Amino acid sequence: MFLTGCKDSFPEKVSPISKFSQLEELFADPPADYRSAPLWDWNTRITREGIDFHMEQFKNAGIGGVFVHPRPGLITEYLSDEWFELFDYTVQKGKELGMNVWIYDENSYPSGFAGGHVPAEMPESWNQGTGLKLDVQEMLQPDSSSYEVVLKKDEDGFTDITATYREEIGEKGTYYLFSKTFPPNSYWYGGFTYVDLLQKGVTEKFMEVTMTRGYEKQSASDFGQTVKGIFTDEPNLEAAMAGGTLLRWTPDLWDAFKDRWGYDLRVHLPSLIDETGNWRKVRHDYYELILELFIDRWAIPWYNYCEEKGLAWTGHYWEHGWPFPTHGFDEAAFYIWHQQPGVDMLGNELISRGMGGQFGNTRAVRELASAANQGGHLRTLSETYGGGGWEMNFATYKRLADWQAILGVNFVNQHLSYFTLRGVRKFDYPPSFTYHEPWWDNYRLLGDYIGRMSLAGSSGEQLNDILVLQPNTTA
């Protein structure tokens, strides 16, 4: 058990399956809640006939639900009235078949930009800058650049001369000139940019566009029933950083840092780059604040929304980037705020060191299970198999599921079930858990196996005899 997180109180949750007789009764045919649920790749023009066909196929394969997941190739307009009508039709079909339906909160990934709607409706989500780059000059050069911070090195450290630096143009010295960077536009983000998830109000805008004006319109009455929850996918700080960015920045960083730590970060910026001054303390304080802002402004609003709506918030972060701080520097601190935390374990190559890899990354899976246990969360999800290739077979599918189950995962989320393989779609991180595979008619064997394994892994009470301190902030 790893000790982590920062939450005032934890809910008292007890597994509904506390006796062996209950497990024995359900074991032959596990309920839908314990069966796997794939990311169902909506990657073409979606029709009711196609929904009926795929949902019945999933049911027959021993699958308990689906995550409706828009991906490249999608023709039906994302977040349109037609989109929500088709999603609701899926919900009604799930209700008919006794299957669960989950919301995937983004058009592809990473979560936060709502297919381009957030940057379109809220330009301040990106146009005030998201990072800082550095130019070091030994003679202050005349130019037309606009600098956020200009520092001059002196015998005591650095002095902030931002307000008066133009008076020193042509003077010799050591000058650190920090300017803001802005995320580039990309077709991936609907022709816009990714957004600054550290900025106040961005998460609320994302939730408004996606949920309040979106899924709530037609499916709110099924929240917590057939619609089990919401999957968030790889929200991160790196995606909003332009090339050449050295430090992540957000508009109220200076004030937030002063409020949190009691001193001005600006004159200590060089300590984040060079081993100068009290650089260990400055780096700790900076990255701790970035983590806290990310949790406070992204994770907690989502947790509160899902608590209010009776939904389970699941999904994962970019745990493969640990310990790089703009990728994933403390996923466990976020897991605490998910009703059903999750992890991403893709591929089929065993990375024995478990650092940066996926299959074999025992640290990431153990961290997930430990944080879930500390937070009182009974279920843990793993997005599994994506990118493993078309050559994967039942033995490799079972091996990956078994390895994670032993480490504490009890909900398997297959990546990916294609609506269609037409054109380049077939190269989108296969395999596919659909009729396109030659083994599909026999998948019920694995569907039942995974359901039984997850049922058993969700039963009883976890007892911990050993406490392991994981000193992320001081290592």
Low pLDDT (below 70) residues in the chain: 1-12, 328, 352-357, 470-475
> What pLDDT shows up at residue 14?
73
Contacts for 45-54 with beta carbons within 8 Å, 24 or more apart? 45/75, 45/76, 46/74, 46/75, 46/76, 46/86, 46/419, 48/86, 48/89, 50/419, 51/86, 51/89, 51/90, 51/93, 52/93, 54/417, 54/419, 54/434
**What are φ and ψ of residue 411, in 5° steps?**
-150, 115
CA–CA distances in Å: residue 466 to residues 370, 404, 470: 11, 20, 13
Asked whether the whole model's pTM tops 0.85, one would answer yes
Q: Are 233 and 114 in contact (CB under 8 A)?
A: no
Closest CA to 325 of 287, 353, 356: 287
Q: Does domain 1-104+341-475 have CATH number 3.40.50?
A: no
Strand partners, 134: 178
Query: DSSP characters for 291-343?
Result: HHHHIIIIIHHHHHHHHHHT-EEEEE--GGGTT-TTT-S-HHHHHTT-SS-EE
Domain boundaries, the chain: 1-104+341-475
Q: Which of 284, 294, 361 is nearest to 326 (CA)?
A: 294
The DSSP secondary-structure symbol of 223 reads: B
Alpha-carbon distance of 387 to 347, in angstroms, equals 5
Model pLDDT, residue 12: 58
* pLDDT for the residue numbered 472: 61
CA distance 247 to 240: 11
So what's the pLDDT on residue 7? 54
- Element housing 404 (H / E): helix 394-407
Residue 275, burial from CB neighbour count under 10 angstroms (0-12, 13-18, 19+): exposed
Cα 150 to Cα 68: distance, rounded to the nearest angstrom:
48
How many CA atoms within 13 Å lie on the side-chain side of 462?
Answer: 23
CA distance 365 to 227: 26
Grouping H, G, I as helix, E, B as strand and the rest as coil, residue 378 is coil
Which residue reads 């057939």 in tokens?
226
C-alpha separations of 133 from 129, 188, 261, 267, 461 in Å:
11, 24, 23, 15, 50
Distances (CA, A) of 243 to 181, 190, 248, 329, 408: 8, 20, 12, 20, 38
Q: Which residues are CB-contacts of 271 (< 8 A; sequence separation ≥ 6)?
A: 277, 278, 279, 282, 283
Structure tokens at 245: 């960015």
Rounded Cα distance between 342 and 325, Å, is 19
CA angle 194, 195, 199 (to 5 degrees): 165
Q: How far apart are CA 356 and CA 314, in angstroms?
A: 22
Which token pair is 135?
């130019």
Three-state DSSP at 411 gives strand
**Count of other CB atoms within 10 angstroms of residue 71:** 21
Q: Tell me what pLDDT residue 349 has.
A: 81
Distance between CA 61 and CA 69 in Å, rounded? 19
Q: Which residues pair with 314 in a beta bridge?
A: 231
The tokens describing 333, both together, are 């601190």
Tell me the H-state helices in 28-146. 48-60, 81-97, 117-121
